[in-house]
Amino acid sequence: MFSLPLRDNARLRPLETWQAEEFAAHMDRAREHIRPWVGAGFITEDLAGARATLRRYAERQAADGARLHGIWLDGTLVGGVMFVNFDAAAGSCEIGCWLEPAAEGHGLVTEACRALLDWAFAARGLHRAQWNCRADNARSSAVAKRLGMTLEGVRRQSWPYGGTRHDTQTWAILAPEWSAHRGATGN
Amino acid sequence: MFSLPLRDNARLRPLETWQAEEFAAHMDRAREHIRPWVGAGFITEDLAGARATLRRYAERQAADGARLHGIWLDGTLVGGVMFVNFDAAAGSCEIGCWLEPAAEGHGLVTEACRALLDWAFAARGLHRAQWNCRADNARSSAVAKRLGMTLEGVRRQSWPYGGTRHDTQTWAILAPEWSAHRGATGN
Amino acid sequence: MFSLPLRDNARLRPLETWQAEEFAAHMDRAREHIRPWVGAGFITEDLAGARATLRRYAERQAADGARLHGIWLDGTLVGGVMFVNFDAAAGSCEIGCWLEPAAEGHGLVTEACRALLDWAFAARGLHRAQWNCRADNARSSAVAKRLGMTLEGVRRQSWPYGGTRHDTQTWAILAPEWSAHRGATGN
Amino acid sequence: MFSLPLRDNARLRPLETWQAEEFAAHMDRAREHIRPWVGAGFITEDLAGARATLRRYAERQAADGARLHGIWLDGTLVGGVMFVNFDAAAGSCEIGCWLEPAAEGHGLVTEACRALLDWAFAARGLHRAQWNCRADNARSSAVAKRLGMTLEGVRRQSWPYGGTRHDTQTWAILAPEWSAHRGATGN
Amino acid sequence: MFSLPLRDNARLRPLETWQAEEFAAHMDRAREHIRPWVGAGFITEDLAGARATLRRYAERQAADGARLHGIWLDGTLVGGVMFVNFDAAAGSCEIGCWLEPAAEGHGLVTEACRALLDWAFAARGLHRAQWNCRADNARSSAVAKRLGMTLEGVRRQSWPYGGTRHDTQTWAILAPEWSAHRGATGN
Amino acid sequence: MFSLPLRDNARLRPLETWQAEEFAAHMDRAREHIRPWVGAGFITEDLAGARATLRRYAERQAADGARLHGIWLDGTLVGGVMFVNFDAAAGSCEIGCWLEPAAEGHGLVTEACRALLDWAFAARGLHRAQWNCRADNARSSAVAKRLGMTLEGVRRQSWPYGGTRHDTQTWAILAPEWSAHRGATGN
């Protein structure tokens, strides 16, 4: 029922339980591409797994916690952005994203994250938004940079993947920084 | 984050758990006005009750069941429309509404119901949408009529309120009827 | 431990969790015969499904909701009657039934429904009892008529079965009507 | 809906969640009289407590476990008998009872226990039924004796009450013993 | 992190959820040997079953109920002792044990039970500890005797196994008896 | 039953549900002293709150998650150390601590953390242990340093307390670093 226009004929929408089949089909296109860069639990292998992800997010949203949003490009679900954590009492949240290969290079994730940050800071009054990514995930850290975030630290060998333990970067932006960034970039 | 424009500077939005304080304040304005016409469980007396309503709907939405949407007029929550039931497998749903006195007479509920029916029939492929109201609720049956619904029956003495048992009307519209109605009214 | 005599060497008893094997064997005899006329969830394919039905009813009964009773003819479970819904606060309930072919034509369902209505109206003080059936289910609407119920409406195309959407009749009887009916029929 | 005649104008019925007010009123009459002789959790002080007892038994019954039955004398709930435990897989159960003072001396408990034992051994095929009571509860051990049970042991100081630890007797009867006892007593 | 020395290079430790693989391997060595003498639910056939046992005990321990401890001999898990029940409010508990064949004859179970009894009586202030075993389990009743317990009764035909119903002995020791026994044996 | 000696007549033990009264009494002594430095949820005001903390940790421990240990000095519970998080699959954990004023200055927390790190790295095979504290908590960051941890970053304004948002330091140590540190310090 609801959607937000992004650029390039793309829209951001809530990604909900009833969209499990669409999400599972998208996961088939995205799986191997995103596997190294997202949390292990986000990779699912079939419809039941896709449905479980959507259900889990919906239940956390019902408790004002995590939230999941999809990005549709030309009517196809191509990825999304989420509040991995959302803690109104503490005034902080963590944002994440994923995208299938065909949709990269349009700035869709950055644009979608702007909508999440606007909502978190303006509508909900949060003070701090965080972004975690593997230290060797250049594409992801570039998004954090474009959003005006600051690199706050590197948790060493905290991301096990493929038999190795990778470092994890933590980026963050505070409410007044986001206001300034929005003003400066004109976005 | 998401909203849909209705007429008269009004917008339709998801009504969610985190909006409990706003919903409780609205309920204080609406309570005595809507008490005779809505289900007993929808009337709450305080913030905890308001939060419980929002949480219950959010949890049912997480299972692709009931859904709650608020209507904001000039930035104030004045009422809403909901899927009282939503059963994708059976292809049917039931729609309901409520409104505080100050917002009546603008056609907001009818307009909001149109958005719900569009979503139910077009986006979700449902076949049948139902509307129940007290038989003596002229305002509510007028909405059903304006939406193109047909009166299908009257459940006698099925609505206990204030020491009396009132009759309940059942109205409904089917998917092809909604298409025709939309075409005919130009809405 | 408990039972009620019906006519023709038949008895009505609570149908409980521990009777899952007996219920499953009966379902094997009844399945194809009742499939078009009962709710999709009531048709189960094996012992685990039969047990789940019994467990679900028992849990709802524990909350003073739905209740399931079996009909035994010459010691064999041949069908039953249930409170599909039971809402003491609202003063209303809904009754349903099912029967395997071999037990039809004895009036067992009508007689068993009388026991349910007596209990609902006299022991529990309810005001209204409802009966839903497919509009083309002549056998079922005849039971409603024999119980003195009134046809209150027809929900169009609300019963999907076998690729078609059938109409659903709603019948009901009120407490004073039941008293009058009982007096008039001498039953 | 269902009941079983006992002697002296008394009947045995399932004691269910919806009877909480009746059960609470009975508990007000029975409380101080039965407090020393029943499990601490069975004594409740108000309607909420009475309802919790009924709900707990109903939920255990839904899983084919414990069961609660009331005894009505001249239309008043005066006590009852229960399966404290019921384990069909192990073939064993434990029976208990309670009674308000006004109903003592009629043999109602003994008669009601006979119904439970018949059901446990004949209808359900159990092999062993047990009875626990405080060693100084002469009235209760007399019931066990009348039912043909054998004293199997005394668990020393296992029943804390009123600052003292009392001994607990364990009585039991096996399926063939019950058949013989039934035959011999002509009951 | 924590352990208690027993004799013969053996140690007693909490047996916890994370040790499921070790417990499953031990169960493979112990299964047929202990099957006739322990509760049916304690025998598991695979890793999932072993994990379920550990999880169930951990959850009951979280509610101050049952507790499970393992015995390690030369670094290998060879058996254990548990509080089958632990009821602080009633001041009583029940103790049980199991052991794989290779570890028998060292007095490990007796020694481990002493640690449990010390904790139950001294640290927790319980008054009574019970021990149940098949009447024909000479090894187990010998442990009860060595611990200074008294045989309190025999529940006839209460232990179904292998198509037969065996008798069950109940042994118990009270807090002052344990103090005296500890003093007399110098243990 | 189990404990580990620390220095100065102090011992480390599991801190469990049944110790709620002792924990509540300790919290009365510790509350105002630790309030600025621990998570808001850890501060409880009464026995029910203390019990809830212990129960929550016990349930997480049952799922191989968080764990709580108390430090007793001369027989009095004076503080403790915990695994705030424990994730065996990811090979990482987070450690935390608290202490009442009278027990400071003995190195008890540092010593207790060594036991936790030994267990996490040696017994459980984890790879990484983390420590979070307010950036202005000199006492806490000194513990992290003494344990050989490295400061990995500072999450700005992420710790709301008393109307201000404080920075949070993240320290961590990896398995091989802990081995080297243990060897170098001779502890």
How far is the alpha carbon of A54 from chain B, nearest alpha carbon, in Å? Answer: 8
Series of mean pLDDT values for 10-residue runs along chain B (187 residues)? 92 98 98 96 98 98 98 98 98 98 95 98 98 98 98 98 97 98 78
* Chain B contacts to A (CB-CB under 8 A): 1-4, 13-14, 16-18, 55, 58-59, 61-64, 69, 88, 115-116, 118-119, 123-124
In whole angstroms, what is the distance from residue C116 CA to residue C122 CA? Answer: 10
- Asked if B61's CB is within 8 angstroms of A58's CB, the reply is yes
Question: pLDDT, tens digit, for every residue of C109-129?
Answer: 999 999 999 999 999 999 999
Question: pLDDT, tens digit, for every residue of D22-32?
Answer: 999 999 999 99
- Asked if B160's CB is within 8 angstroms of C91's CB, the reply is yes
Q: Model confidence at F186, in pLDDT bands (50, 70, 90)?
A: low
Q: Which chains reach chain B with 3 or more Cβ–Cβ distances below 8 angstroms?
A: A, C
Which residues in F62-80 are b (16+ Cβ under 10 Å) and which e? bebbbbbbbbbbeeebbbb
- Closest by Cβ to C59, choosing from D14, D18, D62: D62
Q: Which residues of chain D have pLDDT under 70?
A: 186-187
What residues have CB less than 8 Å from A90, skipping those under 6 apart? F158, F160
Q: Determine the pLDDT at residue D186.
A: 61
Q: Give mean pLDDT, residues E106-110.
A: 96
How far is the alpha carbon of A67 from chain B, nearest alpha carbon, in Å? Answer: 12
Q: Determine the pLDDT at residue C187.
A: 55
- Asked if D156's CB is within 8 angstroms of E128's CB, the reply is yes
Q: Determine the pLDDT at residue D183.
A: 85
- Asked if D150's CB is within 8 angstroms of E158's CB, the reply is no
- Asked if E165's CB is within 8 angstroms of D127's CB, the reply is yes
Q: Determine the pLDDT at residue C83.
A: 98
- Asked if D174's CB is within 8 angstroms of E128's CB, the reply is no
Q: With H, G, I as helix, E, B as strand and everything else as coil, classify residue F157.
A: strand
What does the pLDDT profile of chain A (187 residues) look like in tens digits?
999 999 879 999 999 999 999 999 999 999 999 999 999 999 999 999 999 999 999 999 999 999 999 999 999 999 999 999 999 999 999 999 999 999 999 999 999 999 999 999 999 999 999 999 999 999 999 999 999 999 999 999 999 999 999 999 999 999 999 999 998 876 5
How far is the alpha carbon of D185 from chain E, nearest alpha carbon, in Å? Answer: 23
What residues have CB less than 8 Å from F44, skipping those under 6 apart? F24, F27, F50, F52, F53
Question: pLDDT, tens digit, for every residue of D61-105?
Answer: 999 999 999 999 999 999 999 999 999 999 999 999 999 999 999
Question: pLDDT, tens digit, for every residue of B56-81?
Answer: 999 999 999 999 999 999 999 999 99
Cβ atoms of E51 and E80 within 8 Å: the answer is no
Chain D residues close to C58, C-beta within 8 Å: 58, 61-63
* Domains assigned to chain E: 4-185 (3.40.630.30)
Q: Model confidence at E8, in pLDDT bands (50, 70, 90)?
A: confident
Question: pLDDT, tens digit, for every residue of C147-169?
Answer: 999 999 999 999 999 999 999 99
- Asked if C14's CB is within 8 angstroms of D62's CB, the reply is no
Long-range contacts of C175-183 (CB under 8 A, 24+ apart): C175/C121, C175/C126, C175/C127, C175/C128, C177/C148, C177/C150, C178/C117, C178/C121, C178/C129, C178/C148, C179/C121, C180/C148, C181/C147, C181/C148, C182/C118
Spell out the alpha helix ranges (H) of chain C: 20-34, 47-62, 108-118, 138-146, 175-185
Chain A residues close to F176, C-beta within 8 Å: none
In whole angstroms, what is the distance from residue F118 CA to residue E15 CA? Answer: 18
Question: pLDDT, tens digit, for every residue of F95-143?
Answer: 999 999 999 999 999 999 999 999 999 999 999 999 999 999 999 999 9
Q: Determine the pLDDT at residue B187.
A: 55
Among candidate residues B134, B99, B127, the one with its CA nearest the CA of residue B113: B99
How far is the alpha carbon of D66 from chain E, nearest alpha carbon, in Å? Answer: 18
Chain C residues close to B91, C-beta within 8 Å: 160, 165
Pairing of strands B67-73, F4-5: unpaired
**C184 has pLDDT over 90:** no
- Asked if D2's CB is within 8 angstroms of C4's CB, the reply is yes
Q: Determine the pLDDT at residue E187.
A: 55
Chain D residues close to C55, C-beta within 8 Å: 62-63
| DSSP assignment string, A131-155 | EEEETT-HHHHHHHHHTT-EEEEEE
- Closest by Cβ to C128, choosing from B90, B152, B158: B158
Greater pLDDT, F184 or D157: D157
- Asked if C153's CB is within 8 angstroms of B128's CB, the reply is no
Question: pLDDT, tens digit, for every residue of C18-37?
Answer: 999 999 999 999 999 999 99
What tokens does A174 get? Answer: 């505070």
**F65 has pLDDT over 70:** yes
